[in-house]
Structure 1
Amino acid sequence: MSSRLPLEGVRVADFTWVGAGPFLTKPLADHGADVIKIESRTRTDPIRSMAPFRDGRPGPNRSGYFANRNSSKRSVCLDLKSPRGKELALDLMARSDVVASNFTPGTMDRLGLGYQDAVAVKPDIVYLEMPMQGNTGPHRDFRGYGLTIAAAGGLLGLTGHPERPPVGTGTNYPDHVPNPLHAAVAVLAALRRRRRTGQGQYIELAQLESTTNVIGPALLAAAAGRRVDRSANEDGAAAPHGVYPCAGEDRWCAVGVFTDQQWQALVEVLGAPEWAAKPGHTTPGGRWAARRELDALVADATSTWEASELADALSAAGVPAAVVSDAAQILADPQLNARDHWKTLEHPEMGSSVYDNIPYRLSETPGHLRGPAPVLGADTRDVCLDLLGLTPDEYEHLAAQGVVG
């Protein structure tokens, strides 16, 4: 196993903010890249102001949401609307390998920091933008975030019961999985190509298009002429298939029965209730006359079970099952803790704080959380003096003007 991180020597000028963009640059930082987050003191990253806050006290350096997306990074504050601030940003680009932005189309160009500006100072730059719906087309100027992207991309329309309005995914799913990780893979591919050819690349990742990849099977079905609608927890190849109530307040167990053998095991675990022996109630899948009737019967049988005991009993019998855990239970989960998933890092303002560890492991060059999320502007002076070559007097003069800080 090498002690060298796989992205050591790579520098990223990170102009991203909110959800998807910072989650793109986080895995790069955790695997060794020097990710320098360019921020503003007058218009801070919105997720610095989003709950949950450490100890319930709001503040730009106290957001758990921001912290978990920005480990291992550095933060500098520049006034990009000032000529000198723009010059410093271009100077940083010239010393970087990657530029990343998820602003509205045209924003970076208006600031004088667009792709052509970057290429002028760094010809082999890898430059990535994450516009909501792309840089061209009738909707190019539409603004949005995870929730609206999930709606426009068809994801929300598939969640919930068919006779009720869509319920969504409970989180801004596009911000957490497809968009940032598709972008990260694109950046890595571009860096690999640059290493082979010496050529940089412009990458446009339209977040709407990235999100539609999540519903590929539904798109294929619709293209074949089938009506696709919300189906709650139903699965065409399994029954029962859902989340069933257990003893106690708001306690549930997820169960999926895909084979005849799993059905027989479920029946035995539940104590062979009389209804399970009725004609038509002997096989899983599409042959159930009324899935909701089945769900009601199973729910009645599970309601007296303690959730973890039911999940353990079903799993031991070969039936896919798991407890529905809340956040506190996830933190105490023995499997996650055995795999060292949770990391406690010392934050300058929040103190000891829990972070998600990297969920994938590289056998030869594993990454790690190299530090907590940065305090706003914590590294401005170091970057300006050590990387951009300002003298202490120049820095203090620009700081007094509000150009840096």
Structure 2
Amino acid sequence: MTALPSFPQSWRRLVLLLPVVIVTIALITGYFNESFRPRLPKVSFSDPANSSPFHSECKSDNQTSHLESLPGIIQALWAPLVFPITGPTFTTLDGTEKHLPPADQLIHTQTFGKRICILDVDTRPLENPGSVFASELPTWDNLRPPSAGFLSHYLYALIHGYTYKFVRAPKYADRAPHWTKIIFTRELLKEFDIVVMLDYDAMFPSPELPIEWLLNYWKIDKEVMVAMAEDPDADNNKDLRGNLNLNTGFIIAQAGENTQRLFKDWAECPEETRYKGCAEWKDKIFHEQTGFSSYVRYDFLDGYSIDTHPQYIRKLPCMEANGIPLKKDAGCGGQFVRHYWGDKGATKNEFKEGVMDALTPLLLKSAFGDTNIVRDMREKTLKGAQVLDSPNAAPTEE
């Protein structure tokens, strides 16, 4: 700096201003951004100490990560609505009260969780617009009835923390596609304690009601291998012995060696290795349903019959596990499980109604039961542009 006075004044100014210019340029170009800018705290949605679904990692560039958190979010959303497994009384949508056995006679007091599998099996491509495997995601307007049914099953599994599986099944070369659900129910029973197989037009009208409650209500203990609802009481719904068919649109199956044997014999029924005459139902309506109702249930586990050993095959009332409210007079009102075999297109409306029937009270309570949202001004008095506390209160200042 001793040489600085010998320079002309203009040069001395340049030397003094040069560091300021360099730093300014560096800041503008971002060279020192990390060093000079204050560091903002990093916002993270991940909290290892908190397992809440709302604390999952949020990645704006990865849509899959958002979808992975959806099951937990759905389960948390529905948690206030889920009916207790041991709740003593449940009122169905038609106003009927259903009662569990006394507490000391209940079979299930804890949830099965992922050990219950809600299963869909279908051989169709399901790739047309509005279908679940369409190249473009369906909208509500173009959602097809099968898609609504499948979605309702998936939502039900999410609500209760069950496993959901959808099997895109191959077709048999020698029989109707309906038979595929038998073999794949058997396969899934190798992985899960309980498999609940539904046709797409079979739905739960009260999604908040868990399977475990139904198991308690229907007294399905470990001995029961399979449970199905009876068909409506009509001549065309009777088996070869004149008894009502058991409808295979809704099946509860419990894992076990005996169940594996029963489903194996059922799947092989049209081959007539055990059941002579069953080949007629390879393609003839009611296919696998007739196979079970007319043959398997009368001869399983080497001579057991539903008549001699009813504890292994549970017949469920048609009113509770089959049909729809319009069929209530025929004894099949679909109180717990609705089956739209007479109006398959109604599954879309059923899906909507099931969701909104449950969520509407929750939304109402959240919004209109909150004093921070609703301001009750009914005790006030209005005068011109003023809101008065009472007729004698002083005017409010503007």
Q: Normalization by structure 2: what TM-score?
A: 0.23
- The structure whose RCO (Cα within 8 Å, separation 6+) is larger is 1
Bigger Rg over Cα: 2
